[in-house]
Amino acid sequence: MKRVLFVCLGNICRSPMAEAIFRKKVAEQGLSDTITIDSAGTGNWHVGKPPHEGTRSILDDYQVSYSGMKARQVIQEDLQSFDYIIAMDAENIGVLRSMAGHQKTGEIARLLDFLPESDIADVPDPYYTGNFEEVYELVNASCDNLLDYIKKSL
């Protein structure tokens, strides 16, 4: 069983979008019994809240379920229990690496590391930009490549 954790700042926009999209892709390939997916935020402001209305709206447009998703904060144990910890931006990477210290963790990477053709390194935060469509396109394309990458280790 491989475990994937998507991480952003508040766990209401980017990381739940990635979680929902990745869940759908994993299910479509018949790998739901092999890969588990979750998301979390580095901050605690939105713990217990559903995804942002903009995230819900774009996921509805593309018929991607986010049923039952609630924001939570990354905890220390996540760093050891997940095989892949996929952050949305450099700030999240910094927080995760600081939390990890010298402990062994799952593979920590930025989501856009899996989209080499992109000329940007960080997934823009639509909480501030309002551009949920751009984020959906980046996340969707990156998740295809991430899934291909993970499948090589199954």
Instruction: Count the domains in the chain.
Output: 1
With cut-offs at 50, 70 and 90, classify the pLDDT of residue 70: very high
Out of 78, 89, 122, 125, the active site residue is: 125
Q: For residue 114, what is the DSSP state?
A: G
Q: Look at residues 5, 2, 3 and name the one whose alpha carbon lies nearest to residue 85.
A: 5
Active-site residue, 8 included: yes
Q: Average pLDDT in the 103-120 region?
A: 96
The answer to whether residue 83 is catalytic is no
Could you confirm whether 125 is annotated as catalytic? yes
pLDDT, mean over the chain: 97
What is the predicted pLDDT for the residue at 147? 98
Residue 121's pLDDT is what? 97
Domain extent for 116: 2-151
CA atoms within 13 A on the CB side of 112: 20
Catalytic residue among 14, 23, 72, 110: 14
Tokens 């920590």 locate to 108
**DSSP-assigned beta bridge partners for residue 87:** 7, 110
What CATH number should be reported for the domain holding residue 131?
3.40.50.2300
